[in-house]
Amino acid sequence: MIRTVLFGLLIPTLTLPLFAGGLQGPVQLREKDGRPRASLKDCVAILEPIEASVSAAGPSRPVSIRTVGKAFSPRVSLATPGTEVTFPNLDHILHNVFSVTQGNRFDTGQYQPGEAPRVKVASPGLVKLYCNVHHQMNAFLWVVTTPFAQLLDGKAGVAFGQVPTGTYRLRLWHPEAGEKAWTVKIGGGVTLGAWELDISLPALEPHKNKFGRDYAPPVDDRNY
């Protein structure tokens, strides 16, 4: 912690929390046969205050989720309430994005190649995104109010710094594992831990189209 002595008073430097610590440690994603998955791609870590002085995060920078090769990219994104999300269509076919997640329902309608519809997410939580044209397209948007949230793509685990001391809930999530949560106490230094998630869900969750009906049989539109 940095402090400045001014006229005999101790003035804490405002940019740093008064008492800050960190949380670090490896995350392991275990396959159904028990072997560890090599990559933490699509894994999300969210550190939420239970008893700690943390201000809610304001709207984050716009999030872009492209449709390319008949898939959403990236498949998992992070946002805060009020964040604008755009969906640029980089394919040569029509797409659609809809969500029937309560609190964040929307439907872009079908949109052309080159178009980029926008929506604003409202409520915290996990928003499941689908395309009404292509059953296999799915993506996930985590809307969080804490400033401590990260995607674990390319990482070995969680690493949060400048965390005010207190009690937190560490939530780990993966599309094929669902969510697991732990209570962690963070003191003045770096708190260490190790966490595991078990793969138990299918790669593509069964789902209906935006009308709540089964998808029509696929048509041949391979020229995306």
Which range of residues in 43-51, 137-145, 182-190, 192-200 is near Cu ion by CB under 5 A?
Answer: 137-145
Taking a C-beta distance cutoff of 8 angstroms, is the pair 203, 176 a contact?
yes
Nearest to 139, CA basis, from 213, 211, 85: 85
User: CB of residue 130 vs Cu ion: minimum separation in angstroms?
Assistant: 9
Torsion of CA 29, 32, 36, 38, to 10 degrees: -80
65 binds Cu ion (CB under 5 A): no
Cβ closer to Cu ion: 66 or 134? 134
Query: Which of residues 134 and 171 has its CB atom nearest to Cu ion in the complex?
Result: 134
Based on CB atoms, which residue is closest to Cu ion, 55 or 136?
136
Measure the CA–CA gap between 224 and 218, rounded to whole angstroms: 14
| Contact flag: residue 141 with Cu ion (CB under 5 A) | no
Assess 133 for contact with Cu ion (CB under 5 A). yes
**Binding flag, residue 95, Cu ion (CB under 5 A):** yes
Question: What is the closest distance, in whole angstroms, from the C-beta atom of residue 128 to Cu ion in the complex?
Answer: 15
CB 181 within 8 A of CB 195: no
- Residue 168's identity, in one-letter code, is Y
Tell me how far apart the alpha carbons of residues 205 and 200 are, in angstroms, rounded to a whole number. 11
CB of 137 vs Cu ion, minimal distance in Å: 5
Residues in contact with Cu ion by CB under 5 A are 95, 131, 133-134, 137
